[in-house]
Structure 1
């Protein structure tokens, strides 16, 4: 991710439906998205997703270390343009990120807002299981999260079942 990605990434995330299940439901507004973008850029661990057919940016995600699982890696702060929902895109993105993460750790964590049913379902499709709920400061203030854990072994089985 670079500073030059703002306009294209904002275009991918400018539909209110993209953020309906996220804690910051108004992130489709340019000034709110700018705060999100700047935080992701500052993290230096955010990856952008590019549609190979169009060359356009369609979303992003990042790695981070959660305060309650510092020995592991977490994946989050993810969004994907709603034009890509319901297909294979999320799985492919997460496959690449998870394969990379599992080179270094045995467990990967996802922290999901309790109201974000769409992300809970998508994360469960990856093989992650809801391990516990916690109040954590992941993005600047303590809030409630559903903490999902995916183990290397479970991920290998999910990938195999998907033909990877």
Structure 2
């Protein structure tokens, strides 16, 4: 849908998301330079400056990438994107996401997901996630927010096609998961 804003400014209590800018390179590289962030990721060398520089340029060129800013410190703590899935051109996906390890599994991680999913649901009924088969941590995170594994497919999400585990999250699944997480205090 052409009226969907893929680079919104979204604000929560701890995070602000805004369009990624060329001037964000150093701040985002600082966040990405921790090798442990990339251990389960297919691009396990993305913490290296030269590898990250190519990734940053590619994300910036899409016009879809968001900088994730910690409101308290003003520091960039990660990035994410809304994008059109190559196999579902009338749909929306969330991906190309990473956060510094200090934000994993906590309030900031939940807030990032909530901000992005709820923005997507203003226009779409389902949000898709594409995760590398080796990225078990992200697969578990997808299930935790209520997403369901739908199928595996070889998709061109970057320069070369790669096998992805494709998950879908409907509004109803999100609402149920969100309610259950609130009850459990998660």
**TM-score (normalizing by structure 1):** 0.96
Separation in 2 of the partners of 1:132 and 1:54?
40
Return the match for 1:154 from 166, 170, 173: 173
Give the whole-Å Cα distance in 2 for the aligned partners of 1:83 and 1:160.
25
CA–CA separation in structure 1 for the residues paired with 2:141 and 2:181? 15
SS of residue paired to 1:74: strand
Q: What secondary structure is seen at the aligned counterpart in 1 of 2:80? A: strand
Matched, 1:10 2:29: yes
Q: How many residues align?
A: 164
How far residue 33 of structure 1 moved from its aligned partner, in angstroms, is 0.4
SS at structure 1 position matched to 2:111: helix
Following superposition, the deviation at residue 104 of structure 1 comes to 0.9
1:4-40 CA-partner distances (Å, limit 9, x unpaired): 0000100001011111111111000001001111111
Q: How does 1:130-145 map to 2 (within 5 A)?
A: 130-145=149-164
3-state SS of 1:21 partner: coil
Structure 2: unaligned runs, 5 residues or longer: 1-19
**Equivalent of 1:44 in 63, 66, 69:** 63
Separation in 2 of the partners of 1:106 and 1:49? 24
* Deviation per residue, 1:39-69 (Å, 9 max, x gap): 1111111111111121100000001111111
Query: What is the CA-CA distance between 1:161 and the residue it aligns to?
Result: 3.0
* Corresponding residue for residue 122 of structure 1: 141
Distance 2:109 2:88 in 1: 24
Measure, in 2, the Cα distance between the counterparts of 1:95 and 1:42.
Answer: 25
Specify which of 104, 122, 126 is matched with residue 103 of structure 1: 122
SS for the counterpart of 1:47 is strand
Q: 1:82 aligns with which of 73, 82, 101?
A: 101
Which stretches in structure 1 are left out of the alignment for 5+ residues? Answer: none
State whether structure 2 residue 73 is matched by structure 1 residue 60.
no
